């Protein structure tokens, strides 16, 4: 009991005197790890200083992982050497270690090297691989990452699609229920060899089930069937990232104000992602005018007017109708100005 109390007191005083801990933070850290002699702690602190770590960075590492004070520097050094051999700078190694000190306890052979090799398969260069690791230092800790990448590859998901997720939405690859999501998206008929499959996975992972169901209910209230929703999702999976209020507002404009078919939106689901006030409304009322005047057919492509840049839209759907141009410009700018003022 005396020995335990003595080691506890030694650890607290060491953290305060050598690393600048407050008494409370030192006490908290000592509950997670304590030592009987300062020998190992002195060695590891000297090791970190030798490899470019500042006093505050060492303190930050110890605060997150107190047991690092009993680590063997000779087991950490090969990890630094491995990263350096791939082009990591001292600052890169310090940043990775400070952000996620648990990396220092990982097995080089069983964790770090296999994970790095897998990441490089998709990023193809050490520079891009290191950039990915720097942005998400916890990647080396995630055994599920390698497992899920293999799961996707076995399911026929292309390297480009997996690479997209690694670059932009790596959290998708850490999902515990990834297999279920893959099966659901396959059932919708999205080709796993395309990047769109990865985007669909992103949408499924990003939106919680309760919110997903709420958006589905909004679409159902406007007459969309399950098949209609599947068609829209196949065309543009990101449509489900729009809020349910945004989906509802677009539908109200499309159906109640413009009198158009709500099912037509399933063919242009990109529309839900556009700015309602600055893009959709001004262009929609220009199109409504053209349709009413017989200057445009109802069977014409509905996607194009909303998809093209503003200057091209004005040229094709306003300025090309010379006799009606002044009225079209008035409609367009009035609708746009109305929302710019309220904003």
Whole-number pLDDT of residue 262? 93
What distance in Å separates the CA atoms of residue 120 and residue 128, rounded to the nearest whole number? 8
Whole-number pLDDT of residue 33? 85
What distance in Å separates the CA atoms of residue 126 and residue 122, rounded to the nearest whole number? 11
What distance in Å separates the CA atoms of residue 186 and residue 188, rounded to the nearest whole number? 5
How many C-beta atoms lie closer than 10 Å to residue 314's C-beta? Answer: 18
Task: Judge whether 283 and 313 are in contact, CB under 8 Å.
Answer: yes
Rg for the chain, CA atoms, rounded: 29
Q: Does pTM top 0.95 for this prediction?
A: no
Whole-number pLDDT of residue 8? 67
What distance in Å separates the CA atoms of residue 339 and residue 333, rounded to the nearest whole number? 10
At a CB cut-off of 8 Å and minimum separation 6, what does 289 contact?
Answer: 324, 327, 328, 331
Per domain, the residue ranges of the chain are 1-71, 240-338
How many C-beta atoms lie closer than 10 Å to residue 187's C-beta? Answer: 9
What distance in Å separates the CA atoms of residue 11 and residue 5, rounded to the nearest whole number? 10
Task: Judge whether 161 and 195 are in contact, CB under 8 Å.
Answer: yes
- H-helix segments, 194-265: 195-206, 209-221, 226-235, 244-251
Whole-number pLDDT of residue 170? 83
SS3 241: helix
Whole-number pLDDT of residue 106? 86
Nearest to 157 by CA among 129, 119, 186, 133: 186
* Low-confidence stretches of the chain (pLDDT beneath 50): 1-3, 341-343
Residue 31's alpha-carbon distances to 36, 99, 257, 270, in angstroms, are: 14, 22, 65, 54
Residue 105's alpha-carbon distances to 14, 20, 91, in angstroms, are: 22, 24, 19
């Amino acid at each position: 009991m005396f020995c335990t109390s003595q080691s506890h007191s030694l650890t607290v005083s060491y953290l305060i005197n050598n690393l600048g801990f407050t008494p409370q933070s030192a006490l908290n850290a000592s509950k997670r790890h304590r030592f009987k002699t300062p020998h190992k702690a002195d060695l590891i602190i000297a090791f970190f200083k030798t490899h470019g770590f500042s006093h505050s960075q060492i303190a930050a590492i110890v605060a997150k992982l107190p047991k690092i004070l009993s680590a063997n520097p000779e087991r950490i050094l090969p990890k630094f050497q491995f990263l350096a051999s791939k082009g990591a700078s001292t600052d890169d190694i310090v940043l990775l270690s400070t952000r996620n000190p648990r990396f220092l306890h990982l097995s080089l052979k069983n964790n770090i090297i296999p994970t790095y090799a897998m990441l490089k398969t998709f990023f193809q260069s050490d520079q891009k691989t290191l950039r990915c690791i720097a942005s998400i230092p916890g990647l080396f800790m995630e055994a599920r990452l390698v497992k899920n990448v293999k799961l996707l590859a076995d399911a026929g998901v292309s390297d480009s699609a997996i690479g997209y997720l690694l670059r932009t939405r790596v959290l998708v690859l850490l999902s515990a229920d990834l297999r279920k999501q893959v099966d659901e998206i396959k059932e919708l008929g999205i080709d796993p060899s395309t990047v769109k499959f990865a985007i669909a996975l992103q949408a499924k992972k990003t939106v919680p089930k309760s919110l997903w169901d709420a958006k589905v209910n909004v679409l159902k209230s406007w007459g969309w069937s399950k098949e209609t929703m599947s068609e829209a999702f196949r065309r543009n999976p990101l449509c489900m990232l729009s809020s349910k209020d945004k989906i509802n507002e677009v539908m109200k404009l499309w159906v109640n104000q413009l009198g158009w078919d709500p099912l037509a939106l399933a063919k242009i689901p990109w529309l839900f992602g556009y700015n309602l006030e600055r893009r959709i409304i001004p262009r929609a009322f220009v199109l409504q005018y053209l349709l009413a005047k017989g200057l445009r057919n109802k069977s014409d492509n509905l996607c194009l007017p909303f998809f093209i840049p503003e200057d091209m839209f004005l040229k094709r759907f306003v300025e090309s109708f010379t006799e009606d141009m002044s009225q079209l410009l008035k409609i367009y700018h009035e609708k746009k100005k109305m929302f710019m003022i309220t904003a």
